[in-house]
Amino acid sequence: EADIYQTPRYLVIGTGKKITLECSQTMGHDKMYWYQQDPGMELHLIHYSYGVNSTEKGDLSSESTVSRIRTEHFPLTLESARPSHTSQYLCASTRGGPSYEQYFGPGTRLTVT
Amino acid sequence: QKEVEQNSGPLSVPEGAIASLNCTYSDRGSQSFFWYRQYSGKSPELIMFIYSNGDKEDGRFTAQLNKASQYVSLLIRDSQPSDSATYLCAVRIPGGYNKLIFGAGTRLAVHP
């Protein structure tokens, strides 16, 4: 079982606000990921990190940014929220080989009004 | 062609029956294969993973992998109403950051 946490679980915010979604894991996993998922749709990778000070953009273009200053912490920031950012954001991590299974946090459901 | 394909369903089975969920993938270099269960409004929960050809069993769940046919399946024996959820197939493709590609999921409905 994974110990990976996300806060807040739900967020309703107005257009133009800056928001930070928090993700933390206590397993010492080097690799962490952010996915975006709309209701009934596929997960899309938006950011990933190999380790401290390593971040890359994923497959789905996103206006969000991430940072990885500590191994356990991988926050995602939106500088100016828009209604098109309304979605569920899922954080995941993996310990690595041999199978690289990823464990997910509970998610943050973001609504931008 | 999508990289990971699943029938969207819904797949409806009676309680106690075997549910069979299927997934095909396009990248022959894919290395690990995962099944996640996702309840509505919740995050995906890892059920099983497999990386060698053949069957892998864990309780009521069996994952089957056929790399030659690029096919992976999940069998759920003695299906229960609590198994009703969307099942996501994911494939780890070659590359430096161990990226998972997810299918769109198959919705399973187990009726009493």
Q: What is the pLDDT of residue B73?
A: 98
Instruction: Please tell me what DSSP assigns to residue A70.
Output: B
Please check whether residue B8 touches A, CB under 8 A. Answer: no
Could you say which of A42, A43, A100 has the minimum Cβ distance to residue B92? A100
**Residue among A3, A9, A42 with most chain B CBs within 10 A, to mutate:** A42
- Residue whose tokens read 């069993």: B57
Residues A3-22: pLDDT tens digits? 999 999 999 999 999 999 99
* A26 phi and psi angles, rounded to 5 deg: -110, 15
Instruction: Please tell me what DSSP assigns to residue A40.
Output: T
The residues in A 8-47 lying below 8 A from B, measured between CB atoms, are 31, 41-43, 45
Calculated CA dihedral for residues A28, A33, A36, A40, nearest 10 degrees: -70
For the cut 80, the answer to whether the pLDDT of residue A43 exceeds it is yes
For the cut 80, the answer to whether the pLDDT of residue A38 exceeds it is yes
Q: In this structure, which amino acid lies at residue A71?
A: T
Q: How far is CA B31 from CA A10, A31, A86, A97, A98, in A?
A: 35, 17, 33, 11, 10
Q: Do A77 and A17 contact (CB within 8 A), yes or no?
A: no
State the pLDDT confidence band at A2, using cuts at 50, 70 and 90.
low
How far, in Å, CA of B88 to CA of B90, rounded?
Answer: 6
Which tokens belong to A102?
A: 């990823």
Residues B48-105: pLDDT tens digits? 999 899 999 999 999 999 999 999 999 999 999 999 999 999 999 877 677 889 999 9
Q: In this structure, which amino acid lies at residue A12?
A: V
How far, in Å, CA of B68 to CA of B97, rounded?
Answer: 25
How far, in Å, CA of A65 to CA of A19, rounded?
Answer: 11
State the pLDDT confidence band at A1, using cuts at 50, 70 and 90.
low
Residues B2-53: pLDDT tens digits? 799 999 889 999 999 999 999 999 988 888 999 999 999 999 999 999 989 9
**Which chain B residue lies closest to A58 (C-alpha atoms)?**
B99
For the cut 60, the answer to whether the pLDDT of residue B112 exceeds it is yes
Q: How far is CA A28 from CA A105, B13, B99, in A?
A: 15, 40, 19
| HEC string for B47-66 | EEEECCCEEEEECCEEEEEE
Q: What is the pLDDT of residue B95?
A: 73
Find chain A residues with C-beta within 8 A of B98's C-beta.
31, 94, 96, 100
